[in-house]
Amino acid sequence: MSTPRLSNEPPEEHLVRYGLPFVPRLIAKARGSVIWDTEGREILDFTSGQMCATLGHNHPRIVEAIHQACEGALHLFSGMLSPPVVALSQRLASLLPPHLSRALFLSTGAESNEAALKMAKLHSGRFEVVGFTGSWHGMTSGAQSVNYVAGRQGYGPMMPGSLALPAPNAYHCPVRHCRKACDGTCLDVGFDMIDAQSTGSLAAVIAEPVESSGGVIVPPDGYWQRVKAHCEKRGMLLIFDEAQTAFGRLGRDFAFQHFGVEPDILTLSKTLGGGLPMAATVTSDAIEADCHAKGFMHATSHVSDPLPAQVALAVLDVLDEDKLNARALAMGERLAVGLRYLQDRHEIIGDVRGFGLLQGVELVKDRHARNPDVARGRAITSRCMELGLSMNIVSVGSMASIWRIAPPLTVSAAEIDRGIAILDQAITDVVAQGTRAAAE
């Protein structure tokens, strides 16, 4: 296969910059947990691409599924259904609780959340939507309105009725109440504030069961039961956005299975497509029927496309056949042990949290004050790339500097150990450089 010829212009010369700094290497190839740049240098991927390549890059079964789709159909008129789409709807229904039985297949997580919000509003006849501080639900207008971690500045008014609850972040308690473990006080205070602001039109709460971009925030036991009770008291639907937590990342098919609470609407995306654009909005027969009767419309150019559906079926097959849920828990524990070892070695690591293959590492200037160390966080992340490890800083700003670490579910023990070693070296290098600079 030929490689496209490039000019000597800077790589980003004709590209719109979209909020992330471009890595100073062009990537030519990706397989499993490893990517290679155009000069042949190897980089270990601890972000699963954009959190999507959960089976590793270019998994053979995904490649095979793409070939199968090429023999059938890649794209159809939106009113046409194909065997892969019907099969995928049946497969998801078999994995989910009985009331989550109707699926709409789209391209991105933002699209699936837009559809969920529209369903919630149409079904309830209300318009107010509550999200959590630290949440990330996408960059389309409705989803962006309930993003509270980033992306809100400079675009004018958000969607009317967008309200926020404090996330259960015990490391930085939003109501300055907890220090070591969240006791849920923030939730009760938050709903008191919601009630004070509401115009009486509360439609839904949308939440990630474990906040990912918001800093890998794992709620305490019983938390989602309390959220569900607050929703039921006010006649609100509960929407779980499992873009980053479903299909093995936390060691279960769906993160809500860990917490014992089932949503009224479930959105899926990144982990369902295995690296291809694939998303789903799933709800009950009753909600679907009511929305249909009221004229629900969410047709897109690529709704119900056969190609990504074929790939999603392959993802679910591999997840089951290779027992990747159990593997994610085992490899996740190995990763967590390695990160806690680094915490013991490096004062800059204030907190390690998460479970399965979704781990968060918070970087601080001082462990007691818990002030974020944004500058050194960026420097260490850059040094990791130089040493051959792709890392992702999230929640960068005045509140936190946190690595979201999420290797593919197929990552090997040796690759985890190698990543920990590179991270150790990168921290050591940057801290030493800072010490020398201070001495001079």
**Any idea which residues carry the catalytic annotation?**
136, 208, 241, 244, 270, 404
Per the CB < 8 A criterion, the answer to whether 412 and 402 are in contact is: no
Rounded Cα distance between 62 and 27, Å, is 20
Residues in the chain: 440
Instruction: Output the CA–CA distances (angstroms, integers) from residue 298 to 83, 211, 225, in the order listed.
Output: 21, 27, 31
Rounded Cα distance between 339 and 41, Å, is 25
Instruction: Output the CA–CA distances (angstroms, integers) from residue 53 to 28, 163, 286, in the order listed.
Output: 16, 32, 34
Per the CB < 8 A criterion, the answer to whether 111 and 117 are in contact is: no
3-state secondary structure of 30: strand
Instruction: Output the CA–CA distances (angstroms, integers) from residue 149 to 96, 270, 323, in the order listed.
Output: 29, 19, 33
Rounded Cα distance between 46 and 390, Å, is 6
Residues 6+ apart with CB under 8 A from 160: 127
Angle between helices 413-439 and 324-345 (to 10 degrees): 20
